[in-house]
Structure 1
Amino acid sequence: MNSPQAIIHLSSSSLISFLFYGLAITCLTSTTVSASYDGNETDYHALLSFNGISCGKRHKRVTALRLVSQGLEGSLSPHVGNLSFLRELDLSNNSFQGTIPHELGRLSRLRGLHLGTNKFSGVIPTNLSGCYNLEDLWLYQNELTGSMPKGMSLLSKLTRLEIDDNKLTSGTPPFLGNISSMEVFYAALNPLGGSIPDTLGHWKSLTAFYSGDCNLYGSIPHSIFNLSLLVNFSLAGNHLTGSLPSEIGNQLPNLELLQLRDNELTGVLPPSISNCSKLRHLEMSNNSFSGKLILDFSKLRDIYVIQFSENNFHGRGEADDQLRFVDSLKNCTKLEYLELQSCNLIGVLPISIGNLSGQLQKLYLGGNQLFGSLPSSIGSLVGLTTLDLDSNQFSGKIPTTIGKLQKLQALGLNKNQFSGPIPDAIGNLSLLTRLYLYSNKLEGHIPSSLENCKELNELYLADNRLSGNIPKQLLQLPSLNYFLNFSQNSLSGSIPSEIKNLKTLSNLDLSYNNLSGNITSNLGECISLTTLNIRGNRFQGVIPSSLSSLRALEVLDISQNNLSGRIPQFLGKLKSLEYLNLSFNDFEGEVPLVGVFANASAFSVRGNNRLCGGFVTLELPKCKEMGSKNKRFPFFILVIVIAPTLLIVLCCVYLLCKKKRNSQPSQSSGSERFMKVSYNQLLKATDGFSTANLIGEGGHSSVYKGILDSNDDKSVAVKVLHLQSRGARKSFIAECEAWRNIRHRNLLKIITSCSSTDFRGNDFKALVYEFMPNGSVHDWLHSSTYTSKLNLLQRINILRDVANALDYLHNRCQTTIVHGDLKPSNILLDDDMVAHVGDFGLARLLGTDLNQNSSTGVKGTIGYAPPEYGIGSEMTNCGDVYSFGILLLEVMTGKKPTDEIFNEGLTLHKFAHMALPDHVVDVIDDDAIVLQSTEANAKKVEECLVATIKIGVSCSVDSPPQRMKIEIVVNELQRILDVLQNI
């Protein structure tokens, strides 16, 4: 007889309890029982009934071993294959690891093999075909790899196959269609790939088909739609294309769940779906369905989830006619979830919206083109917990009936054209946790009734016309712990001292109002603040010392006020502070050199004319040294003594400079920032613009490596403009204008420019840059120039550097600059792999008359240029952010936005978005991940990868206002970098 340790190897934590299981297996023979228990039948039967072990009455052999959820660990021994009378083996929900022993193939009597929710790895044993009586095979939630073995096709009695949530690859094999007895098939959450085999249409008894998130391509075979017994049909989260058959509702009359969301399906949503009268779940969101939405929901009386968001429904005819389907929803009395976001719905929301089910909990209609007033009947939906109507064109007043929605927890009316006051009735929503009313035309005071919303943790009222003081009552809500944003209004008065009650608040934004007075010292008691923005107000006085208590502060923006005094030293000691903006105030004295002040790109002190010192890059005057005594020397004596001497010195300097200028006409004066070079010098530096020195070529220019005699024999990059190319002259002017205004460690350093003629008298224009020895990011990603590849840390560092450069161009230059052509070939790397952004040929200086791009001109590069440029929109900061998002995704995935796999609606953005959050590792460039040494570290790395891809996806959304702010990008990337560097 096999000992219990021989059957299952256990950890010490579960060994004692499993000894009882082993004793129970003494029923293997009656002789063993009598020998072990001296004929004590009472003990014998007690053991047989213990914890799911069954034995045959006739042969006294183990027939069932059910050890579900027993906390068992270790590996499964091959000796389990000796239990030849076993009909059921159920080890579900334990922590077994290692491979599944192939000896299980000996168990010919086995009908149920349940190994789900463990940690088994390796492949599915190929000889499971020996279990030819198997009816249930449950291998879900393990770490199995490889393909499904061909021997599975011999399991002719198999009715239920559950292999979901593993790491299986190599597609769904066509031979599975030979198992005609199949009733339930679960394969979701595997990176299978490939297409759905047409042979699966042989499963005439199939009732459940789950293959969501399997990386499937191609269309859904028509044979699948002939499986008339299907109840649950899920293919969500794949890359499926094509349209649905018009008769789907008649072919699959028993459907209760139809889940095709997050694919690339096209065509009209078939009206015959209305005939699936048993439907409970209908999920079609995130596809490309078009045409008119004309489903008759009145027949779907049992439905409780409808998801249609992110499609392109539209239709000819009257706008109101497009929303007629709302009337038919009144019969859906069990409806709990209705999602119609971003569906291109146009029209006035009908009054019949109030006739929807009292069971309705979540209503999403955001991102459409709904206009007119919001019907007061909305107050009849008393079951709502979430109401999201953002990003439409609703106008008029917010109906007071909204106060009847007593169960409401989240209300989003932002990005509309609502006017009038915020209704006091919103204060009746005592369960409200999120209130988003920003970007409307709301006016009047902030109602103090909001103090009744005791659960409120996010309040966003920005970008309205609100006036009056900040209500003190509102600042006494301890629940406010995430966002409090009143920015871009006309609020006045000071910050109430009651602000001290918000001890758990993370983000406070009061920017661009008319607030005045001193910055209250009580802000120092908001110890959880990570972001504090009071920019663009009329605050005066000094920065209160109490702010030194804000140890979690990451972003502090107090720019564009009337603040004065010295910059407090404690700001340099706030270890978490990543961005500090003190610009355009009246600060004086020395700029500190430590902490946030040690990184020139992390702070701004522009527009403070009485500051001195700091880093050289700030170009501030040196601070005057204070003498040991405070006595003033009489001014008139100073003038009498110094003036004659100073006059003599100035005369000498003038004569000396004049003589030097006359003797060296080719050199620039000391007051000029850039040296002067001639065509001849550049010709010599590049060996006659030799092809051997050619290091890059584009539509407007060629770039050569060279050595200038006047540059200490250091290598330079000479960019020669192709003046015969259309736009080349404009590109040269744009770059010159841009370089006149910028200087940053993550921008390519320009040495000089040359505008002259060549030996034939033709115009010649060139720019001379510091040479970057490690080439471009494009070279590292896509060429064979470098044998090694960029690791994860290098990639995140590069992205952080580029984000810093953009943040500088957008937010810290005296004139805001839009780069206009951000892509990997324009990101260059120095000796230390520090990234430098170059090529400002398409740059635009906002707020000036220089280089104003026409609406029809070329803007950016295909794949990197934002979609709004394609329809004639002007270049903006948001366009650069989009390009950065695509750049980030390319750096992380190794795939160009123009890669051949991106077709038929699949883009780099969508490719990355579909991988979030659970499959990000599958889309990351294999060469990037080299930091995993322990399981804990691997988890941290994966979390960092998810966070990074989320940034890229957020930056590259189609809607410009919804893209992530570049200053936030900088903070997020730095946070990710800090985590990785500590692994």
Structure 2
Amino acid sequence: MTETSASSASLISGTTAFKEPFPMNLVVFPGYIVFILMPTNLSGCSNLEVLWLAGNKLVGSIPKEMSLLSKISRLAIHDNKLTGGIPPFLGNITSMEGFSAGGNPFGGSIPDTLGHWKSLTEFDSGGCNLYGSIPHSIFNLSLLVTFSLPDNHLTGSLPSEIGNQIPNLEYLQLRNNELTGVLPLSISNCSKLGTLEMSNNSFTGKLTIDFSKLRDINIIRLDNNFHGRREADNMRFVDSLKNCTRLVDLNLYNCNLIGVLPISIGNLSHQLSFLYLGHNQLFGSLPSSIGSLVGLTTLSLANNIFKGRIPTTIGKLQKLQYLSLSRNQFSGPIPGAIGNLSLLTILYLENNKLEGHIPSSLGNCKELNELYLAHNRLTGKVPKQILQLPSLTIFLDLSYNNLSGSIPSEIKYLKMLSGLALSYSNLSGTITSIGECISLTKLYLSGNIFEGIIPSSLSSLRGLEVLDISQNKLSGKIPQFLEKWHSLEFLNLSFNDFEGEVPVVGVFANASLFSVLGNDKLCGGLVTLGLPKCKETGSKKKRFIFLILLIVIAPTLLIILCCVYVLCKKKRNSQPSESSRSERFMKVSYNQLLKATDGFSTENLIGEGGHSSVYKGILDSNDDKSVAVKVLHLQSRGAHKSFIAECEAWRNIRHRSLLKIITSCSSTDLQGNDFKALVYEFMPNGSVHDWLHSSAYTSKLNLLQRINILRDVAIALDYLHNRCQTTIVHGDLKPSNILLDDDMVAHVGDFGLARLLGTDLNQNSSSGVKGTIGYAPPEYGIGREMTCCGDVYSFGILLLEVMTGKKPTNDMFIGGLSLHKFAYMALPDHVIDVIDNDAIVLQSTEANAKKVEECLVATIKIGVSCSVDSPPQRMKIEIVVNELQRILDVLQNL
């Protein structure tokens, strides 16, 4: 390829004017062509051998004129936005040696005609939405070196003779498809193979490949396969790996492996860096030969049935950074030799039967970020050496052990630690020193023997989200600083000896966010707590006198206010009436928002997204009510358009089921940089996502609450689609964008991807990714425009998630299974099996229970009907509203 190749084409951002004649070789460098159709005027380039159009934003389909380029040997069109499938006529270009098309939303199947490419050495079409089976003609291309089709929807099985048909393979990558059958033994004959990547398919049977013939292999990734009929002792393949001296990565996670891990595991390559054997059924002891794998940086053996002691030879793995032995049946002491692993950053040993003291040698692991030792039988005191590790910044979990003594004062050195769990560990004393761990967001101390009051030193933990100090012997009054923690999402003070009045502000204003059960000396608080009233104090008498005075003075004040109102109304009526809606919002400056959020402090940060951060704050001009301030990350691509879209949407809407906007701010910050923010009414009950998936929410949504929320969201969509002057498509409906107020009424928020159909905003606000993976409809993935039908699909997925408690991106949804299919297959007789247990309300009579089940079936049918692939077949949102209201009426009358 010559240097003049690129200069022979006029490359202009947004358009491309191809000049003829082309030279024999052509390279179009990536990154220049933006949103144009695939060029059709190439037919005159009869001598063209190489065409490189990768890394642009080409749209449309591959033109038929391409078949006239009979001398093409390499075609690189990867990472564009081409659709229309891989056309069969490309098979006519018999000179093709390299075809690279990955990262295009083609769709369709692989044409059988590509088998005419007898000289092909490289075939790469990963992430192209391809479906169907791989044509048998492809497997006759004996010169293939690279065969890569990952991240598609391919089905069927591989031919048993694949290794004999394509013996020159060096790179075989078919991960993340829906392939079935056995993994052919003949792959053993691909003696040049360097990468074998077949993860996340549905292969069955035993792993029978003879790796001893694959001396050049460096990557073997077969995880999440081989399920179905269980066969014992399927670990013999390990012996054949000893000849693979270049092996770096071996991943057999969740492969239904059954048997003893052979001693020969120690014969694997010294270059082996990643070894994943977790989530299988390996039993017996862990061989001491594991210590011979001195190149390991990651060792994962979690979720097996290993017994016996952890071998001390594990201390020889000097390069180890990640070690997970959790959820096995290891016993005996934790080897002190683990302290030799100076590069270790994460150590998982929880859920075993380990005993003895926690070795102080762990203090030598100077890079340790996370340490999990929970659910064992460990005894003795908490080693001071661990608490002096400045690297321990993410989580320390020593829960559910039989430790003794108090929390060492050295805990104060963990100033950057985010999470600390010491629950049910038989610890005693006070909790004073923890107040110096100022970065804590989660603190679990329940089920111990802690005494004394909640110390004032804990007031420095201003970023705390979860505090559980239940089931101890703590006493005294509930300190006032707990009321002021804006970040607190759950507080558990149950079963202690606290006394005095329960506050009613802050976290104490919502009964679902805190618990004070089992404290017999408490009084007051929310009515729903059922606590006795507190005795009247002198301060309360003063408030009573003030109330009487207020009642006396109030009439006079009312008359004055009425006069002021009449005067203001007259003045307002005398002004022009053409003022825009936006003027009804109060004006707010950057400095006001800076003050309201305490300098946009991390303590007030309540959420982050791709384009923005959201802070809780209090505006002086908002009657001291809490607000949510959404600050746009203007340096992020698309943030400015997101701001415009959201402002435009809010200018056109107002509804009880939509989040209430208070104002917006477009200004500059203290450094003179552009600053844009939106100010919303604060929703104290968080998001639906929090209630479904956050461990901080110990109480869950009941069935009535879930149906009410879904009805509210459907009503909001019906308003946006059918009852606004301009139809609005939300574009990003998901649980984290559904917020709940004090009364658990749902409010739809985040209109950063919204589109006003039929307006200029339709052209400007949505480029790039539309919606969120799992919730965005399939048509968006192939470049279709946003529509109301797309919102209905997202609502259907949202409904199924609310009812089943499972995210659409749950790890269980592999091999063609999706949340939609999971729910569809349960209809109508097995719906009760897929419903989230927390949603089911047991009724007192058999008749009521039957009606509840009928309502569940009807609800799941709505979700399935809304989330079908074909947009025209999705249920109309106005029908959804009526159906959910009918279901709600039935449930409320039970």
Length-normalised TM-score, structure 2: 0.64
Aligned counterparts, 1:869-888, within 5 A = none
Match among 713, 728, 735 for residue 796 of structure 1: 735
Q: Which residue of 1 aligns with 2:138?
A: 224
Q: Deviations over 1:156-202 (max 9, x none)?
A: 22222222222222211112212222111111122211111111111
Q: Using a 3 Å threshold, how does the CA distance of structure 1 residues 206 and 782 change in structure 2: closer, same or farther?
A: farther
The 2-side partners of 1:607 and 1:926 are apart by 49
Q: Which residue of 1 aligns with 2:241?
A: 329
Q: Which residue of 2 aligns with 1:7?
A: none
SS of 1:288 mapped into structure 2:
coil
The residue type equivalent to 2:282 in the other structure is L
The 2-side partners of 1:611 and 1:288 are apart by 58
The 2-side partners of 1:65 and 1:837 are apart by 52
Aligned counterparts, 1:11-160, within 5 A = 63-64=4-5, 86=8, 97-99=13-15, 101=16, 103-104=17-18, 106-109=20-23, 111-118=25-32, 120-160=34-74
Verify the 8 A CA contact 1:346 1:368 in the aligned structure 2. Answer: yes
Q: CA deviation at 1:533?
A: 1.1
Match among 491, 499, 504 for residue 580 of structure 1: 491
Q: Using a 3 Å threshold, how does the CA distance of structure 1 residues 166 and 609 change in structure 2: closer, same or farther?
A: farther
Q: Which residue of 2 aligns with 1:537?
A: 448
Q: Which residue of 2 aligns with 1:485?
A: 397
Q: CA deviation at 1:255?
A: 0.4
Aligned counterparts, 1:757-776, within 5 A = 775=711
Q: CA deviation at 1:797?
A: 5.9
The residue type equivalent to 2:14 in the other structure is G
The residue type equivalent to 1:583 in the other structure is S
Q: Using a 3 Å threshold, how does the CA distance of structure 1 residues 546 and 414 change in structure 2: closer, same or farther?
A: same
The residue type equivalent to 1:896 in the other structure is V
The 2-side partners of 1:901 and 1:412 are apart by 40
Instruction: Note if 1:561 corresponds to 2:561.
Output: no
Verify the 8 A CA contact 2:106 2:128 in the aligned structure 1. Answer: yes
Q: CA deviation at 1:306?
A: 0.4
Verify the 8 A CA contact 2:356 2:379 in the aligned structure 1. Answer: yes
Q: Using a 3 Å threshold, how does the CA distance of structure 1 residues 114 and 842 change in structure 2: closer, same or farther?
A: closer
Unmatched segments (≥5 aa) in structure 1: 1-51, 55-62, 67-85, 631-742, 751-769, 806-832, 844-860, 881-889, 903-921, 929-983
The 2-side partners of 1:275 and 1:533 are apart by 55
Q: CA deviation at 1:225?
A: 0.6
Q: CA deviation at 1:239?
A: 1.1
Q: CA deviation at 1:895?
A: 6.6
Q: Which residue of 1 aligns with 2:176?
A: 262
Q: CA deviation at 1:53?
A: 10
Match among 77, 83, 89 for residue 175 of structure 1: 89
Q: Which residue of 2 aligns with 1:896?
A: 864
Higher mean alpha-carbon deviation, 479-488 vs 543-552, is at 543-552
Q: Which residue of 2 aligns with 1:509?
A: 421
Number of equivalences: 632
Match among 466, 469, 474 for residue 386 of structure 2: 474
Q: Which residue of 1 aligns with 2:515?
A: 604
Q: Using a 3 Å threshold, how does the CA distance of structure 1 residues 592 and 565 change in structure 2: closer, same or farther?
A: same
The 2-side partners of 1:329 and 1:539 are apart by 53
% same residue = 63
Verify the 8 A CA contact 2:155 2:178 in the aligned structure 1. Answer: yes
Q: Which residue of 1 aligns with 2:571?
A: none
Q: Which residue of 1 aligns with 2:633?
A: none
Q: Which residue of 1 aligns with 2:189?
A: 275
Instruction: Note if 1:863 corresponds to 2:823.
Output: yes
Verify the 8 A CA contact 2:206 2:226 in the aligned structure 1. Answer: no
Q: CA deviation at 1:422?
A: 0.4
Q: Which residue of 1 aligns with 2:347?
A: 435
Q: Deviations over 1:565-615 (max 9, x none)?
A: 122221222222222222222222222233322333222222222222333
Verify the 8 A CA contact 2:372 2:397 in the aligned structure 1. Answer: yes
SS of 1:291 mapped into structure 2:
coil
Verify the 8 A CA contact 1:293 1:314 in the aligned structure 2. Answer: no
Q: CA deviation at 1:295?
A: 0.8
Match among 310, 334, 339 for residue 398 of structure 1: 310
Q: Using a 3 Å threshold, how does the CA distance of structure 1 residues 137 and 592 change in structure 2: closer, same or farther?
A: farther
Aligned counterparts, 1:732-811, within 5 A = 747=702, 775=711, 791=730, 795-796=734-735
Instruction: Note if 1:294 corresponds to 2:208.
Output: yes
Q: Which residue of 1 aligns with 2:254?
A: 342
Verify the 8 A CA contact 1:467 1:491 in the aligned structure 2. Answer: yes
The 1-side partners of 2:80 and 2:378 are apart by 54
Match among 136, 153, 156 for residue 242 of structure 1: 156
The 2-side partners of 1:325 and 1:90 are apart by 56
Q: Using a 3 Å threshold, how does the CA distance of structure 1 residues 313 and 477 change in structure 2: closer, same or farther?
A: same
Verify the 8 A CA contact 1:535 1:558 in the aligned structure 2. Answer: yes
SS of 2:115 mapped into structure 1:
helix
Match among 625, 632, 651 for residue 536 of structure 2: 625
Verify the 8 A CA contact 1:501 1:526 in the aligned structure 2. Answer: yes
The residue type equivalent to 1:241 in the other structure is T
Q: Which residue of 2 aligns with 1:589?
A: 500
Q: Using a 3 Å threshold, how does the CA distance of structure 1 residues 748 and 254 change in structure 2: closer, same or farther?
A: closer
The 1-side partners of 2:832 and 2:270 are apart by 46
Q: CA deviation at 1:480?
A: 0.7
Q: Using a 3 Å threshold, how does the CA distance of structure 1 residues 396 and 873 change in structure 2: closer, same or farther?
A: farther
Verify the 8 A CA contact 2:28 2:53 in the aligned structure 1. Answer: yes
Verify the 8 A CA contact 1:239 1:264 in the aligned structure 2. Answer: yes
The 2-side partners of 1:118 and 1:573 are apart by 54
The residue type equivalent to 2:251 in the other structure is E
The 1-side partners of 2:714 and 2:108 are apart by 30
The residue type equivalent to 1:796 in the other structure is P
Q: Using a 3 Å threshold, how does the CA distance of structure 1 residues 875 and 130 change in structure 2: closer, same or farther?
A: closer
Q: CA deviation at 1:563?
A: 1.4
Instruction: Note if 1:311 corresponds to 2:225.
Output: yes
* Structure having the higher Rg: 1
Q: Which residue of 2 aligns with 1:252?
A: 166
Unmatched segments (≥5 aa) in structure 2: 542-697, 745-794, 806-820, 841-857, 878-894
Verify the 8 A CA contact 1:90 1:115 in the aligned structure 2. Answer: no
The residue type equivalent to 1:186 in the other structure is S
Instruction: Note if 1:409 corresponds to 2:318.
Output: no
Q: CA deviation at 1:370?
A: 0.5
Q: Deviations over 1:740-785 (max 9, x none)?
A: xxx99965779xxxxxxxxxxxxxxxxxxx9969847689999999
Q: Deviations over 1:638-674 (max 9, x none)?
A: xxxxxxxxxxxxxxxxxxxxxxxxxxxxxxxxxxxxx
The 2-side partners of 1:255 and 1:879 are apart by 52
Verify the 8 A CA contact 1:98 1:119 in the aligned structure 2. Answer: yes
The 1-side partners of 2:719 and 2:183 are apart by 44
Length-normalised TM-score, structure 1: 0.58
The residue type equivalent to 1:492 in the other structure is S
Q: Deviations over 1:854-895 (max 9, x none)?
A: xxxxxxx9728999x989999996998xxxxxxxxx999997
SS of 2:34 mapped into structure 1:
strand
Q: Deviations over 1:92-122 (max 9, x none)?
A: xxxx7423x1x21534336223231456223
SS of 1:191 mapped into structure 2:
coil
SS of 2:27 mapped into structure 1:
strand
Aligned counterparts, 1:512-531, within 5 A = 512-520=424-432, 522-531=433-442
The 2-side partners of 1:150 and 1:324 are apart by 52
Q: Which residue of 2 aligns with 1:359?
A: 271
Q: CA deviation at 1:124?
A: 1.8
The residue type equivalent to 2:322 in the other structure is A
The 2-side partners of 1:242 and 1:154 are apart by 33
SS of 2:181 mapped into structure 1:
strand
The residue type equivalent to 1:582 in the other structure is L
Aligned counterparts, 1:441-452, within 5 A = 441-452=353-364
Q: Deviations over 1:805-839 (max 9, x none)?
A: 9xxxxxxxxxxxxxxxxxxxxxxxxxxx9xx999x
Q: Using a 3 Å threshold, how does the CA distance of structure 1 residues 124 and 785 change in structure 2: closer, same or farther?
A: closer
Q: Deviations over 1:235-256 (max 9, x none)?
A: 1111111000011001111100
